[in-house]
Amino acid sequence: MSAPETAATMAPETARRTRRNAAVLALQAAFREDRFFLMLSVFIGIFAGLIVVCFRLAIDWCNIFLLGPVPHAYSVRLLIAPVVVSFVVAVLVLHVFRGVRGSGVNQTKAALYISNGLIPLRTSIGKLITATLAIGSGHSLGPEDPSLQIGAGLASFLGRKLNLSRDKQRLIAPVGAAAGLAAAFNAPISAVLFVIEEVIGRWSAGILGSVVLGAVSSVVVVRWFLGSEPLFRIPAVALARPQELIAYSVLGIVGGLASVVFARAMGNFSRQLRAWPRWTHYFQPSAGGFLIGLIGFLGAPQVMGAGYNYIDQAMHDQFTWKFLLILAGLKIVATTLSFSSGTPGGMFAPTLFVGAMLGGAVGGAERHFFPHLTGSTATYALVGMGVLFAGFLRVPMTSVFMVLEVSGNYSIILPVIVANTFAYVISRSLQPVPIFDLLTRQDGLQLPSLEEQREETVLRVEDAMQDLDGPLLSSDDTVAAALRRIQDADQDAFLVQIRPAGWNTVTRDLLRKLNGEGKGELSLLTVLPVRQIPHLFPDLPLDVALRFINRVPMIPVVNRADLSKLEGIVSSDAVLKRYQSDREPID
């Protein structure tokens, strides 16, 4: 063989070897990046935990310095501190840290979907400073949501410094968000579920592994410095009799209605204040702070700040049920004033507070009028916390696991599920737009509504599936026999079943061509191309069919238990008509 012939023969082999080597190197690089990302998730959790420890200590110190060790009614501090500090916070938000307004959940979600996970480090620093001042001075807000944004910002900063790929940059912010929320809440499972349920909206093994590592490592750091004690000292809780589920159902109904009132008040008041002239934004936080301080001054300092210690007191029967009901209503008012005025801070702690007070109040009232009920105040308060989470924040899965994780008692899972279901259904019926989506749209952003995605009816292959119109050919048929079988059919393409469980298609023109070439007595298996077309199952999402409908004229739909059993077919026309018909059934 001559040299030119040898070179021509070796060139394709060399090209294939080069492509194969490049693919192997790319796979190795991706594998190394995945392993590196998992290690990075641990470090993100450690750093987020350290920052949240500082954040929580700073809030406590600020609260003691501004309001005193234990805020008391009729203390002038309660009127002065929120007003003065709120004005400072307003100036910082309007001129120095312009991205810190809000809770932090929507801002993190916006960064994920709009900015490829980019959160400036300046925003995280500003959130820490302004939220510390706001919560420490008595605004009815919590540290959890800001911690989520702070953790996400830290992770985003590390991702940029390490030059991660764009896909990893999008993923790293939710890892930091879960780490920050887990550290603030001291509950890694709830943090992971919330980030997946509300921020990411989807999960895979890679996402779940990274988020879990970040959340767990941050909680380890927090417990190392602040101890392993949970947020609340939970008394013994249990479901004494199944009949008491009726009482918890009532709590779910009341909590669902309260969630609607809470969400509507916050949404409407926030929209109205945003429309006021810009110069008023300097004084809106101070006005809100003054009104909140006035509530505390006149006898309810419990509504100021996050209020964790008062949740603990409510669980131990230190308030009457009537006062608990008053505190729940005042907390809704105070939180609406704080958040709607643009003061940075979170909604988690106020939601827990309202839920605990409302649960304790409903439980106390039910036991007062129906003494045979034996549920403790702590049980009702815990269930109430989950009820408000499900109804107001609209995260049903997180609400269940949050209560279980906080209490460490799985005996109340049934009351939690029953009450949360009532609250979620009522809230969704009366308040169609969740509070996070509502606030996002007020910011002028159109982010995907993860609740709408969860609740949306999924079209499946069976919805566009049709019966086979025409003969089903077999790979054992000869070309001549196949032509005879299709001579009265109207269509031009036909489905061929290849034994034992394969499928192919053939056109009338191809069969005529093969027959004209003298191949009429050969089987279809012999003359058709080796390739086989894909098959689908009836329960698959319909969008799976979109990957194939432009390649073949029809796709067989088969039974999962018997791949040779044809259930029907889908075609490009059927799929498109199904999407265009607004879910009207196809004839």
DSSP 49-75: HHHHHHHHHHHHHHHHHHH-SS--TT-
Integer angstrom CA distances of residue 53 from 48, 223, 350, 425, 500: 9, 9, 20, 37, 63
Does residue 20 fall inside a structural domain?
no
Q: Pick the last residue of a domain from 226, 253, 287.
A: 226
Does residue 15 fall inside a structural domain?
no
* 479 and 565 housed in the same domain: yes
* 184 and 156 housed in the same domain: yes
d(CA 324, CA 337): 20
Does residue 2 fall inside a structural domain?
no
What three-state secondary structure class fits 197? Answer: helix
The β-bridge relationship of strands 502-507 and 493-498 is: antiparallel
Does residue 536 fall inside a structural domain?
yes
* 204 and 66 housed in the same domain: yes
- Which class for 523: exposed (0-12), middle (13-18), buried (19 or more C-beta within 10 A)? middle
- Whether the ω angle into residue 277 lies within 30 degrees of 0, i.e. cis, is no
d(CA 229, CA 406): 10
pLDDT of residue 579: 80
* 543 and 488 housed in the same domain: yes
Does residue 11 fall inside a structural domain?
no
Helix (H) or strand (E) holding 566, with range, is strand 566-570
Does residue 235 fall inside a structural domain?
no
Helix (H) or strand (E) holding 437, with range, is helix 435-442
Q: How many other C-beta atoms are found inside a 10 Å radius of the C-beta of residue 262?
A: 27
Does residue 18 fall inside a structural domain?
no
* 71 and 205 housed in the same domain: yes
Contact 220, 42 (CB under 8 A): no
pLDDT of residue 206: 64
* 222 and 266 housed in the same domain: no
Give me the domain span that covers residue 117.
29-226
Cβ partners under 8 Å of residue 79, min gap 6: 290, 293, 294, 297
What three-state secondary structure class fits 498? Answer: strand
CA count, 13 A, side-chain hemisphere, 139: 39
Cβ partners under 8 Å of residue 18, min gap 6: none
Q: Bridge-partner residues for 570, per DSSP?
A: 555
* 379 and 263 housed in the same domain: yes
Cβ partners under 8 Å of residue 72, min gap 6: 301
Does residue 64 fall inside a structural domain?
yes
Q: Pick the last residue of a domain from 196, 226, 256.
A: 226
Integer angstrom CA distances of residue 9 from 4, 13, 18, 298: 9, 7, 15, 93
CATH number at 324 reads 1.10.3080.10
Cβ partners under 8 Å of residue 333, min gap 6: 265, 295
d(CA 181, CA 239): 30
* 441 and 475 housed in the same domain: no
* 443 and 465 housed in the same domain: no
CATH number at 478 reads 3.10.580.10
Q: Distance from first CA to last CA of the chain, Å, rounded?
A: 65
pLDDT of residue 69: 85
Show pLDDT as tens, one digit a residue, over the chain (587 residues): 554 544 444 455 555 555 554 544 444 454 466 778 888 889 999 999 999 999 999 999 999 999 888 888 888 989 999 999 999 999 999 988 888 888 888 888 888 888 877 888 888 999 999 999 999 999 999 999 899 999 999 998 988 888 877 777 778 888 999 999 999 888 888 888 888 878 876 666 667 788 888 999 999 999 898 877 767 677 766 666 777 788 889 999 999 999 999 999 998 998 888 888 888 889 999 999 999 999 999 988 999 988 888 988 888 888 888 999 999 999 999 999 999 988 899 899 999 999 999 999 998 888 778 777 666 778 888 899 999 989 998 888 888 888 888 777 777 888 899 999 999 999 999 998 888 888 888 887 777 766 666 667 778 888 888 888 888 888 888 888 888 888 888 888 888 888 777 888 888 888 888 888 888 888 888 887 766 788 889 988 888 888 887 778 888 999 888 888 888 888 888 888 888 875 554 44
Cβ partners under 8 Å of residue 36, min gap 6: none
Cβ partners under 8 Å of residue 256, min gap 6: 387, 391, 422, 423, 424, 425, 426, 427, 430
pLDDT of residue 7: 45
* 391 and 498 housed in the same domain: no
Contact 63, 345 (CB under 8 A): no
Q: Pick the last residue of a domain from 226, 250, 271.
A: 226
* 409 and 301 housed in the same domain: yes
Question: Torsion-angle region of residue 488: left (phi > 0), alpha (psi -120 to 50) or beta?
Answer: alpha
d(CA 196, CA 184): 17
* 158 and 201 housed in the same domain: yes
- Tally the domains of the chain: 3
d(CA 504, CA 407): 58
Outline where 68-96 has alpha helix (H): 77-91
